[in-house]
Amino acid sequence: THSYRHILVEKKGEKENVGLIQLNRPNALNALCDNLMSEIAQALSKFQHDDAIGAVVITGNEKAFAAGADIKEMQNLPFADTLKGDFLNQWTAVSDCKKPIIAAVNGHALGGGCELAMMCDIVYAGEKAKFGQPEINIGTIPGSGGTQRIVRVAGKSRAMEMCLSGLPITAQEAQQIGIVSRVFPPEKVVEEAVKLGERIASHSKLIVSICKESVNLAYETTLREGLHFEKRLFHSTFATRDRKEGMTAFIEKRKPCFSDC
Ligand code: CAA
């Protein structure tokens, strides 16, 4: 076991096949300082290499998922340093992870917190969660996907409204516009996210990662290219033992026994 300063990491689920990362800087509303983000990257990399893990849940606490990048850390940061250090670039570890990540959001998901949630594959929220891109209030703009991912899920008008007003929206609104897929009572969010993670982890991990890659491509490319790529990935599942096992188990009216190869 590895000890971290700003996050708590455990394995959840009956079969301990769901990784849980809890952001743990409660006094700063889980502001995403550099160290916290590198700890998330490390924890994700460990889960990525752990064959037992089939999905990961990222959560915060009841008050805050995360209130954004750390403003205290950024206050005196010179432009040249942001460029030299490629500031915030390590956040891509989240969107680059091959295993599915579910965000379980309670409280504030603001700025980088909202962006972190949107980097995850699925977002579950508690009834009192708030999502927003308040960077404009402090003289900057979203720097980890806020101006890009909201447009793709919710369209230009909602993205402009959120990014230009800086005002947060409720969990229910976030669900209506597609940022969130389900809303639960606050105390149920993590439990439900872990349950979904367990369901995902019960499938072939190999096929799950192929499926995730295919869905993600819909963000990146034209429909024609995406459909072509999907077809090729679909074909590639026929090179796996798990595809044969899944279909054979169906025909034999039994549960499949996947071996992730
Ligand atoms: N960075 C650093 N510290 C933060 C923080 C942040 N983003 N958000 C909150 N904190 C700190 C506060 O400074 C405060 O610390 P002190 O006790 O040392 O003063 C502590 O957390 C508690 O915060 P508040 O007293 O402000 O709590 P509140 O309940 O009154 O307000 C809030 C909650 C509305 C979320 C408010 O904290 C807030 O507006 N936070 C900033 C939100 C924001 O602007 N986020 C965007 C950051 S920029 C960004 O994320 C760039 C990007 O795209 C990646």
Is residue 219 located within the same domain as residue 97?
Answer: no
| pLDDT band, residue 3 (cuts 50/70/90) | confident
d(CA 221, CA 227): 10
- Identify whether residues 233 and 157 lie together within a single domain: no
Are both 43 and 131 inside the same structural domain? Answer: yes
Single residue among 179, 201, 223 that ends a domain in this structure: 201
Q: In this structure, are 211 and 166 located in the same domain?
A: no
**Same domain membership, residue 241 and residue 143:** no
Range of the domain at 71: 7-201
Query: What's the pLDDT tens digit per position in 162-216?
Result: 999 999 999 999 999 999 999 999 999 999 999 999 999 999 999 999 999 999 9
Asked if residue 2 is part of any domain, the answer here is no
Binding site membership of 110 for ligand 1 (Cβ less than 6 Å): yes
Query: Is 139 found in the same domain as 123?
Result: yes
Position 1 scores a pLDDT of 56
Q: Residue 2 — pLDDT band, cuts 50, 70, 90?
A: confident
Q: Is the CB of 136 under 6 A from ligand 1?
A: no
- From the CA of 72, how far away is ligand 1's center (Å)? 9
Task: Please report, rounded to a whole number, the percentage of residues in the chain having pLDDT higher than 90.
Answer: 98
Distance CA 59, CA 71 (A): 21
The answer on pLDDT for 17 being more than 90 is yes
E-state strands within the chain: 7-12, 18-23, 55-59, 64-66, 101-105, 108-110, 122-126, 130-132, 169-170, 182-184
Judgement on whether residues 72 and 28 belong to the same structural domain of the protein:
yes
pLDDT tens per residue across span 227-245: 999 999 999 999 999 999 9
- Res. 68 pLDDT band, cuts 50 70 90: very high
Whole-angstrom distance, CA of residue 121 vs CA of residue 137: 28
Q: How many independent structural domains does the chain possess?
A: 2
Catalytic residue (choose from 13, 68, 112, 145) = 112
Q: Angle between the 146-154 and 112-119 helix axes, to the nearest 10 degrees?
A: 50
| CATH code for position 144 | 3.90.226.10
pTM of the model: 0.97
Residues 167 and 240 in one domain: no
Cα 224 to Cα 18: distance, rounded to the nearest angstrom: 35
41 and 158 belong to one structural domain = yes
DSSP 16: S
Count of other CB atoms within 10 angstroms of residue 248: 11
The answer to the question of residue 128 being in a domain is: yes
Among 36, 71, 135, which residue has the most ligand 1 atoms within 8 Å of its CB, making it the best to mutate? 71
* Cβ–ligand 1 contact at 240 (below 6 Å): no
DSSP 245: H
| Residue 217, domain CATH | 1.10.12
Statement: residue 108 has pLDDT above 80: yes
- Region for 109 from its dihedrals, namely left if φ exceeds 0, alpha if ψ lies in -120 to 50, beta otherwise: beta
- CA-91 nearest atom, ligand 1: 54
* pLDDT mean across residues, the chain: 97
Band (pLDDT 50/70/90 cuts) for residue 67 is very high
